[in-house]
A and B are shown apart, each in its own frame.
Chain A
Amino acid sequence: MSDGCGAPADTPMVTSAGNQAVVQGTVTKDGTPVSPGYARLLNSGGDFVAEVPLGTDGGFQFFAAPGDWTLRVLAPGGIRAERPVSAAIGEISKLEVAV
């Protein structure tokens, strides 16, 4: 893992959540991955919590606290999208976002 706070794009997606609450998915437009772009996680109060750049495959991944979140996508050309998502320990919550 990274020992900093950076969020490298194209970080491999975990396939097992272990004891983490994982939120992961991809962002596409007309079936094509959106990249560059950014995925932001907002808490239930609408406050920003974390952000990652989308991978070349449009992918993103967060290790969240359990609970309800909003995923917000930003990309060039004014692309914006939001999706609600719930995270739970030991689960991978998957989101496929078509913008």
Chain B
Amino acid sequence: MSRSDALVDADWVEAHLGDPGIVVVEVDEDTSAYDKGHIRGAVKVDWKKDLQDPVRRDFVDRAGFEKLLSERGISNDDTVILYGGNNNWFAAYAYWYFKLYGHQNVKLLDGGRKKWELDSRELVTEVPARAATNYTATEQDASIRAFRDEVVSAIGSKNLIDVRSPDEFAGRLLAPAHLPQEQAQRGGHVPSARNIPWSKAAEEDGTFKSDDALRDLYAGAGVDFGIDTIAYCRIGERSAHTWFVFHELLDQPNVKNYDGSWTEYGSLVGVPIELGDGS
């Protein structure tokens, strides 16, 4: 995987809107954004309602993913272009999710919804009608998803990258600064984790920095590219953004997203937690 395989820019998307075999998908938590205006022809995926299990904390299962994509009119051989708000957090999460269930032809729109809006590109309210398909997913690819025990055993041995903001890392905040701070779990971070906020990988307009700048960023922050890496945040979507950088843009092998992230780890009994800004 490399940048040209995983990322397309806004000009490319504009030039290929309506092409057979290309499906543009907006992924948001706040789906009112889609309803107010979206890229022409784009279908909507609701990060929570469509991608999360309604009862237990987990994804929709394989059958649920097949049903979702079939209903949206997405075929196994379609090229899916994902974009969304929040600097593509949820689009990156969906990208990881598409890969988890074996969809190969998937790309992110660089800069996502923000760059598209800042460029004053066309947004429409018309919802496309796509014929249903019979989508077939694979079993989850365990090589890109980390669970809690693997995180605990990675302390001090793998790259653990905490991509939350410095105040969340230090334990001063429990959520990003645009959300109320009312979670009950403990604050802090996984011992030996390095705090490299996801935002450092992005330009102000939401596009990704160059490969060279990204390598300099992570190497300068002490990441050893020769060992395995696990990224986490609070609920796994910001770390999907960083997983995308490592695994898809920088072509690093053995990179996992810990989607349980701090809302799970910070609620576990007996695991070590470190406070403060780190070294």
Contacts and interface: CB of A to CB of B under 8 A. Distances in A.
Interface of A: 1-10, 20, 36, 38, 40-41, 43, 47-53, 61-65, 74-77
A36 B235 CA distance: 27
A50 B176 contact: yes
9 contacts: A2-B29, A2-B30, A7-B176, A20-B180, A47-B197, A48-B197, A51-B178, A63-B177, A63-B179
A77 B29 CA distance: 26
A50 B32 contact: no
Contacts, number: 102
Given A5-B89, A43-B166, A47-B166, A64 B177 contact: yes
B33 A65 contact: no
B90 A76 contact: no
Nearest to B86: A6
Contacts of A52: 178
B182 interface: yes
B238 to A, nearest CB: 6
A52 B114 CA distance: 11
> Most chain-A CB neighbours within 10 Å: which of B86, B178, B179?
B178
Contacts of B30: 2, 6-9
Contacts of B237: 4-5
A64 B178 CA distance: 7
Contacts of B29: 2, 4-6, 8
B47 A77 contact: no
Interface of B: 28-30, 32-33, 47-48, 85-87, 89-90, 114, 117-120, 165-167, 172-173, 175-182, 197, 199-200, 204-205, 233-235, 237-238
Contact of A2 (B114, B167, B172, B179): B179
Nearest to A6: B29
Given A5-B86, A65-B167, A76 B177 contact: no
Nearest to B233: A5
A49 B168 CA distance: 10
A49 to B, nearest CB: 5
B180 A5 contact: no
A7 B86 contact: yes
Contact of B118 (A43, A61, A74): A74
Shortest 9 CB-CB distances between A and B: which pairs? Answer: A6-B29, A8-B30, A50-B177, A48-B199, A50-B178, A76-B120, A4-B29, A7-B178, A36-B117
Contacts of A2: 29-30, 179
A87 to B, nearest CB: 9
Given A4-B237, A76-B120, 10 more contacts: A2-B179, A5-B179, A47-B200, A49-B165, A49-B166, A51-B86, A52-B178, A53-B33, A63-B181, A74-B114
